[in-house]
Structure 1
Amino acid sequence: MVRYDLRHLHEDFYDRMVELLDKNVKSGEVAIFLFEVVTNGKSNFDAVQKSADVIKEQGHELLNSLKFNEVDWTIVVRKK
């Protein structure tokens, strides 16, 4: 299992998430991604749905999606 903190990318983390899955995560391995759900001081949960959609489009399995704290979210993904 590997963990990646993408919070520093704010709402532009999707490409980096896909790149990490493609290059750094082995097939069958689980990765945890941490990202922000706050934009300009307001909660924006669109990132949660979009991240799930991106994972599905890439053919991977979303195992879990949960709120980490007031501004951060985590998703757990198994690479196919």
Structure 2
Amino acid sequence: MKRYDLRKLGNDFEPRMKEILEEKHKPNETLIFLFEIGDFTPIQRSADLVKECGYELYNSLKFNEVDWTIVVKK
């Protein structure tokens, strides 16, 4: 399991998230991403990116007032 904190990137987390998803990962490795949500549009964009990169979205949770966590697996 690997955890990636993308909160410091604000609303521009998608390019870095895509880079990470395109890296080689161990079979069945779980990836956890944290990012800021603001107006909730990043949630759908992140789910679309996960699907586009061939991963399965396992979980999507509001972490606190501004942060969101998603769990994915290839």
Name the TM-score, length of structure 1 as normaliser: 0.85
Instruction: Tell me how far 1:24 sits from its aligned partner.
Output: 5.4
CA RMSD of aligned residues (A): 1.2
1:67 — aligned with what?
A: 62
Aligned to 1:41: none
Contact 1:25/1:31 (8 A) holds in 2: no
Q: Is the 8 A contact 1:33 1:76 kept in 2?
A: yes
Higher alpha-carbon Rg: 1
- Structure 2, unaligned runs of 5 or more: none
State the Cα deviation string for residues 2-55 of structure 1 (Å, max 9, x = none).
1000001111111111211222532321000000012xxxxx100001100111
Q: Does residue 41 of structure 2 align to residue 46 of structure 1?
A: yes
Give the secondary-structure state (helix, strand or coil) at the position aligned to 1:26.
Answer: coil
What fraction of aligned residue pairs are identical, expressed as a percent?
61
Structure 1: tracts of 5 or more residues without a match: 39-43
How many residues align? The count is 74
The normalised TM-score by structure 2 is 0.91
